[in-house]
Structure formats: C-alpha cells, structure tokens
Amino acid sequence: MSRNTVNTTVSIEPADALFLSWATGINASGLFREALAEQMAYRDIDRDELSTLIEEALTDTNRDLDDLLEQTSNIDDLNALLETDLETD
C-alpha cells in the first residue's frame, strides 16, 4: 500500500504570517501537528489508537480517506464502521 500525505491549507492572521516570516527557523507544520496533538489529548483521543484504526480501515477494507471523511465524525463512528466491515466479511 502506498502512503499518501494529505495536504491542506490553513488561514492565518496577518500578524502570525509576519511573525513566521521573521522567525524562519520555526517549523509551522510542526506547530500545527503540536496543536493537533494538544487538541486530541483535550478530547481524549489516543493518537496511536486513531492511527491504528485508520491504517486498518485503509488496508483491510476497500475504503479510502475520502470515505472515512464522509462516513465518520468521531472515533466512535470509525470503530462502528470497522465493526460493520468486519461483520460483512
């Protein structure tokens, strides 16, 4: 299976853009991932569990990331989707 990276755009305020242009050593994508990790922890989402479930969904089913985005809105939805897929196999 080939791994795909999802690219997205993020809107930032002018002050943030200017600061990032001054602080060229800052890894903005790293800051984004750090903020996501903080939000996952706040929402009690285990990143490793989520990664495992997504990997399972993408490798053991005929689903792709777009399917997961359309059919789930939280980790419970993802678990239910995978359970349904396993029951129909």
**In the chain, where the domains are located:** 9-44, 46-89
- Find all residues with CB under 8 Å of 53, minimum gap 6, and list them: 75, 78, 79, 82
Split the chain (89 residues) into runs of 10 and give each run's mean pLDDT: 70 90 88 93 94 91 89 93 81
pLDDT of residue 80: 93
**What's the pTM?**
0.73
Q: What does the alpha-carbon distance between residue 61 and residue 56 come to, in Å, rounded to a whole number?
A: 8
